[in-house]
Structures are given as C-alpha cells and as structure tokens.
Chains A and B, each alone.
Chain A
C-alpha cells in the first residue's frame, strides 16, 4: 500500500503556551538538536513515505525556517516531498477567526484539496506532540491485512489523576482490536487505558467520505463526532505500540520527556537505529569545546557549545555557553543560551538566546520548572 503523510503542526499548541508563544508545537525544540516535528517527519521518511503535507494554523514562521526545502529529510522533490498547507485567509475577511480551523476535523476539511489530489492508498495522520521512533510500515501492513478503514495507534497508559488532565483521547476496543468508543473527557476513567497517540492510518477514499459526511451533517469533532457517526459502517482498528513514547502534554511533561533522554535505553531506542535515524535541520556548528574547568556529568550536549563550568543532568542545545564557576543542574537550555560566571541554575528551562548574568541564581522544581522566555536577560 502506498502512503502519503499529513502532519498537524499546531493542534497541541495550548499544551505548552510558554514554548509556543512564538512557534508551533511542531517547531518546539527538543532533545538538544531536534524540533518535535522531526519525530513524525523522520518516522514517515524512514517508512518510505515521500509525500508529506504539513497543516499549519498560525505562528508558523519558525516551522518554515526549520523545514526549508525539506532537503534535510530528503524531501526536496519534484514529485511529492514537503507540501506546506497554510490556511486560506485574507486580511479583508471579517471576522478572521471564522476562517481558521478550531478542531482537528476542520483542519482536515481545510486540506481536502490535498487529500483528493493524492493518489496514494492511505493517508498517515500524525500530530507533533509525541516523541517516538516508530516503523509506520508495520502499522500500514496491519491496516492492509485487517482490511480496516481506520487504524488508530494506541499505547497503554496507567491513568492516575495527574495523567488524566493532559492526555490524548482514550480508545475503547474489544479483544480483537475493534474500536467501540472514543472518550474525549478523561475525568471519569481510571486504571489502565489505551490512549491514542494521534497517529492514524486512514484509507484515503474513506477519509474523503468521512469528511464529506461531516460537512453534510455539520460535525465538529474528529474522535467525538465524525468517527462515531460511521460506527457500524466502517472498520476501526487499534494498533498497539509498546516502544518508548513521550507525550508532551504540558511544560512539566516536556521537562520529563527531555530528561528521559539521559537514560541509555531511551537514547538507544530513539537515536541508535541506523535504519531509522531521526533527521533534523543542519545548523553547521563546530564541535563542542570543553575548557580547563569543565565538569560535566549525565548530560546530553549538542554541538557548538562552549563549556567551562559545571553541568549535571542537563540537556544543552546548540551554541550554549557555560562560563567558569557556573553550576547548571537538571536544566534544559535552548539554542544559544548564555550562563555567566558563577551563576547557578536548577530545574530551569531557558528558551533561545537567554542571557543569565554573572552570579545570578535561579531555581525551579521538577514539577514546576522555571521557564525563561526567548531572548530575556536576567
């Protein structure tokens, strides 16, 4: 079965309003040198998908900058490649907001033209809030073998109170993986549940039918209304994923998802598969320089850093400077952050180009990391 990809770049922007103030969820930096979209995009490319539409909503300047021509993912192509799908809107539309989609279903309706122009058998939908290295060929194969119209990738999650607040839709299925129900309001559930990873394989012709039906009946929600509307007439299956997966539900989860990369097993699974590398934009930075006074332990460090202080349990993005005597622990420092002499940081997330002056001490907690906005000087 031939597949085309469709990535929704903005749909989870509200999960971490701090980091998405001036960017999309898809272009939120992650893991030292990546952006969240690198994971769905690499998964698609590594699964042989060479046509990927990216649906944008607003704030997508950083996303365009990151994607460029798509060359870094081998998607700069005459046939297919990356196709950016921004909304149709003009400055004279009033009120403007009515033209911008508010739900997943509306987002898909807005790119009907792309979907109908494809000739591929299936469309792989993916959001940008899940970090995993998945072989989508397995999902597509199961979709074909079971004759499904829709296959939703799920993972099992133990629902405690904290988890319930910031989690994706829950999928109820029978023993054969036939989906019976989608639960959007998670307040009532407890115990072990299948949670949608928002990676969905849909037969393309079925998707067109689904969207046309939704338009005809004025439906708004994808999981809550559109899919249930055709229960009984179509085959909905789950695909259970057991590999490493981090869902970025809020700032705290963003923090812990990054920190999980300090475990050998997580890094090995995400980054060490030679057949399925996570690809990203090349920034052309020199190697990282360690000075006479550098003390670094249990940290993930991108190229282009200059380190002469103490760094423990940290994720440092490209071009971070840690000056002599500075002590940085349990923190995530985004691209080109600068930590002055004898400064101290603990449980801090600093956005791009943050400057921490000499001797400044800042401390958050792992359940509430201290966030410093882009370009701030402290």
Chain B
C-alpha cells in the first residue's frame, strides 16, 4: 500500500529549552505545558492537521520519554493515519555510523530516508518552540507560485527587537538577498520564524554537501540557508501576520499564557475554525465551591476551587483551598494550594504543594521576575518565598 504525500512535515523537537530552567529538567521544550491543557507541540501538530498535512516526523533527542508517551499514535491530532500520520524519529545506529543529531540540518539529513518513503515533493521544517496558528497550506501555495527552492516564514518585528532574531533582507518581490543571524544593526524588520519549506531535491543536495563539510555546525540558520543564498537559489520570504510567540524564556512563557486571558484575548484557544488538539485525560468537570472568587482566568477539568483566582491560568486537577489567593500565575497539573496561601506572579510546575499561609512571589509591578517552582516541590506551611526566586535554583 503506497500513497504519495506532496508535503511531509519534519518537526524538530529535540531542543532542551535550557532557558526554561526548572521547567525543562525532565522534559524537552516542546513538551512544556501551555494554556491550561496543552503542550507547546500541540500548536505545530494542530496546525499541520488543520492545514491538511497528515505526515509528520517528530525528531526527538533530549529527554524524549514524556514526549514519546504524549504523542503516542497521534490519535488526538487525527494523525493516527494508516499511511503517514505522526512518527517519532529518534537518533539511531546506522550501517556506517551512529550519532546524535549534531544540529537541526543533521537531524533532517539522518532522516532523508523517512521523507523519501513518501516520495514527497516538498519538506516543511517546523520547530516546537512557538505558540501560533498558521495555515501551512497557504505557505506551500506561495512556495509553488514563486517556483521557489526555499520559502521562509517571516514576521514583522519592531526594529528595536530585530537584533534578537534571524533577519531577512528582501527585494520588492519578497525574494531574499541577505540573511543575518542576530545582527547588531538590522537593515530589515522581517524575522525568520524558523518555518521553512524546501523542494526536496534541493534540500537533499544541500544536506548531503553539508554533511561532508567537517567545519559545518549542521544548522539551518548557520549553514544551509547562507549556503543556498550564496549559490543564488530562489528563496522567498512568506509574510505571516497574526499572533506568534517564542516561549523560550520563563517571562515569555508567562506572557504567552497571560495573552489567553481577557474578554477578547490576544490569542484565543476557543476557535472553531482552527481547533487546537491535545491529549485529554479522564478528569471530572471542575468544581467551584461556595466562597470561591474567580476573575479573568482560565480553569481546566478536575480543578477544585474554594479560594480566590485572578488573572491566572490553571491546568487540570489544581486545588485552591479556602482563603488562598492565586494571582497573575500559571499553575500546572495537580498543584495543591493550601488554605490562606498567597501565590503571586509565579509559575508552578506540576504537582507542587504550597503549604498553608505560604507567601510566594510578589506583585508583578514590583517583582524583579516571575517566581518559578519546579515539579513536585513541597513548600512547607508558613514559608515565605522571595519574588523572582527559583526552586530548585538551576540557573
């Protein structure tokens, strides 16, 4: 049984997410929870499904256990296809060599056989680092219309932030003539989103050449894209408009969660036309007790709320006892906030227990940084946790 797939997606999910510190001690960054019941990887996976791309290779390397278990057979994303679907691609021992993925380009190089199996014409490269909704089918149309070798999705960023990104300089027709990684003096505001579409043949040629170059970092941004530009391949920028957020740091992760709140949130998960899929558990509905006060927050299944919750995102099975106050915080699965505790401007990883009367974090207008508590940590009754601290401190 064989069916050709026009476009195969390759999702780079091996990143450690080192700047998320305590949150990525045991999980890869794409598996970091987000938005009450999702994980970061739900966003590229749901985008694939919604864009009609049903064959996705997920390249794992760092701490893959949670990710493997989470993706499973791909059923939640409709990616449990008889032909195609989602496939986990870990590094493996080959006939001539065995190696970890040395870089983003090397990871794809080692899995060229996977792409060939589907006789794909195009390869979509994605990462598991961003929160956004994007129709990859439109980008592929654009790629084909331009008869391009490579199309890079870009987003217009403020000029003062441009030096944090890979910046594309483009001609009038949006063809790319220059790429500069984190330039000091940017001459454009079009930032690469790390989403590429390649013609398979061109990509394979460059990957093969790159693999033979011992001096290469085997990275798309550092090697493949510059090499292609030097060789004057047809490369185009695809302008994306809409919400796109890198959640690579604790503060940006916190902000992205807060963007879900409000009457007309900056980024809405409640979108019938572009549904976000995730693996659901068998939890009972949430119970809101007498005396509870919930304002401007999102709360998930299995929660029991008897205290006050304000401007916060609560994941499943969180308990907030009477008199406890949770404000401007992100509280992951299974956390328990005891009576009278005060959690302010914090991220609590899963199964954290906050003792009675604990004062944790500080008001977000004066706190130096968001307070972060690692998974399973128990904070004893009556303790005071300084604003901006991290437990365990792995910075």
A287 touches B298 (CB 8 A): yes
Contact with B along A262-284 (1 / 0, CB 8 A): 10100100111000011110101
A298 to B286, CA, bound (A): 11
Give Cα A95 to B300, complex, Å. 51
Tell me if A287 and B294 are in contact (CB < 8 A). no
Residue B227 lies at the interface, judged by CB distance under 8 Å to chain A: no
Between A and B, 6 residue pairs with Cβ closer than 8 Å are: A31-B285, A277-B282, A287-B37, A287-B313, A289-B261, A302-B286
Task: Give CA–CA (A308, B298) in the complex, Å.
Answer: 12
Of all chain B residues, the one with the shortest Cβ separation from A282 is B280
Query: Once bound together, how far apart are the Cα atoms of A300 and B290, in whole Å?
Result: 11
Q: Give the docked Cα–Cα distance between A32 and B285 (Å).
A: 6
* Cα distance, A280 to B297, chains bound together (Å): 26
Q: Is A114 an interface residue (CB 8 A)?
A: no
Q: In the complex, A315→B275 CA distance in Å?
A: 25
User: Please, which residues of chain A bring their CB within 8 A of the CB of B289?
Assistant: 297-298
A288 within 8 A of B: yes
Question: Cβ of B263 < 8 Å from any Cβ of A?
Answer: yes
Q: Are B35 and A287 closer than 8 Å at their CB atoms?
A: yes
The CA of A226 and the CA of B52, in the complex, are separated in Å by 57
B21 to chain A, nearest CB (A): 25
Bound complex: CA A303 to CA B300 (Å): 6
Beyond A291-B296, A300-B287, 10 additional contacts (C-beta under 8 Å) are: A32-B284, A278-B282, A279-B282, A286-B298, A287-B36, A287-B269, A287-B299, A287-B314, A297-B292, A301-B288
Minimum Cβ distance to chain B for residue A267 (Å): 6
| Chain A residues in 8 Å Cβ range of B36 | 286-287
Report B-chain residues with C-beta under 8 Å of the C-beta of A298: 288-290
Encode B40-84 as 1/0 by CB contact (under 8 A) with A: 000000000000000000000000000000000001100000000
A33 within 8 A of B: yes
Q: Is B176 an interface residue (CB 8 A)?
A: no
Bound CA span A300–B299, Å: 12
Residues of chain A within 8 A of B218, CB atoms compared: none
* Contact flag A296-B270 (CB < 8 Å), given A71-B75, A287-B300, A301-B285: no
User: Interface residues of B: mostly helix, strand, loop or mixed?
Assistant: loop
B138 at the interface (CB under 8 A from A): no
Which of A277, A284, A287 is packed against the most chain B CB atoms within 10 Å?
A287
* Cβ–Cβ contact A302 & B296, under 8 A: no
Residues of A within 8 A of B314 (CB): 287
Distance in angstroms between the alpha carbons of A272 and B295 in the assembled complex:
26
User: Within 8 Å CB of B313, what residues of A?
Assistant: 287
**Contacts A32-B284, A288-B286, A301-B285; is A306 near B270 (CB within 8 Å)?**
yes
Question: How far does the alpha carbon of A134 sit from the alpha carbon of B285 in the complex, in Å?
Answer: 20
CB of B199 within 8 Å of the partner chain: no
Say yes or no: is B277 at the interface (Cβ < 8 Å to chain A).
Answer: yes
The reply to whether A294 and B287 contact each other, CB–CB distance below 8 Å, is no
B292's partner among A267, A282, A296 (CB-CB below 8 A) is: A296
B: number of interface residues (CB 8 Å): 37
In the bound complex, CA of A308 to CA of B264 (Å): 12
Q: Are A308 and B263 in contact (CB under 8 A)?
A: yes
**Measured between alpha carbons, how far is A296 from B295 in the docked complex, in Å?**
10
Chain B contacts with A in 241-297, Cβ cutoff 8 A: 261, 263, 269-270, 275-278, 280, 282-297
CA–CA, A278 to B294, complex, Å?
27
- Is A288 in contact with B287, judged by CB distance below 8 angstroms? no
B295 touches A294 (CB 8 A): yes
Residue in B275, B280, B294 whose CB lies within 8 Å of A294:
B294
B296-324 contact mask (Cβ, 8 Å, vs A): 1 or 0: 11111100000001000110000000000
- Residues of A in contact with B (beta carbons under 8 Å apart): 31-33, 71, 262, 264, 267, 270-272, 277-280, 282, 284, 286-292, 294-304, 306, 308, 311, 315-316
| Distance in angstroms between the alpha carbons of A270 and B282 in the assembled complex | 12
Chain B residues with a Cβ under 8 A of chain A: 35-37, 75-76, 261, 263, 269-270, 275-278, 280, 282-301, 309, 313-314
Asked whether A299 and B284 contact (CB < 8 A) given A290-B299, A294-B295, the answer is: no
The one of B263, B292, B299 that contacts A288, using a Cβ cutoff of 8 Å: B299
| Complex CA–CA separation, A290 to B277 (angstroms) | 21
Which B residues lie within 8 Å of A288 (CB)?
Answer: 286, 298-300
A31 to B295, CA, bound (A): 24
- How far apart sit A279 and B282, CA to CA, in the bound complex (Å)? 6
Contact check, A297 vs B284: say whether CB atoms are below 8 A apart: no
User: Could you say which of B76, B269, B287 contacts A267, with CB atoms under 8 Å apart?
Assistant: B287
How many Å from the CB of B327 to the closest CB on chain A?
Answer: 14
Given A286-B36, A290-B298: A297 and B288 within 8 A (CB)? yes
Contact of B277 among A278, A284, A289, A315 (CB under 8 A): A284
Question: Please, how many angstroms separate the alpha-carbon atoms of A296 and B292 in the complex?
Answer: 7
B288 / chain A contacts, CB cutoff of 8 Å: 296-301, 311
The reply to whether B280 and A284 form a contact with Cβ atoms under 8 Å apart is: yes
Give the residue name and chain of the A residue nearest to B279 (CB): A282
Contact: B284 with A267, CB < 8 Å? yes
Given A284-B277, A287-B35, A302-B301, answer yes or no on A292-B295 (Cβ-Cβ < 8 Å): yes
Shortest Cβ gap from B167 to chain A (Å): 34
Nearest B-chain residue to A294, judged by Cβ: B294
For B261, what are the chain A residues with a Cβ–Cβ distance below 8 Å? 289
Cα distance, A284 to B45, chains bound together (Å): 14
B276 to A, closest residue via Cβ: A286
Contacts of A297 in B (CB 8 A): 288-292
Choose among B75, B282, B291 the residue with the greatest number of A CB atoms under 10 Å from its CB: B282
Q: In the complex, what residues of A have CB within 8 A of residue B275's CB?
A: 284
User: Which A-B residue pairs are the 6 nearest by beta carbons?
Assistant: A287-B36, A32-B285, A271-B284, A286-B269, A287-B300, A302-B285
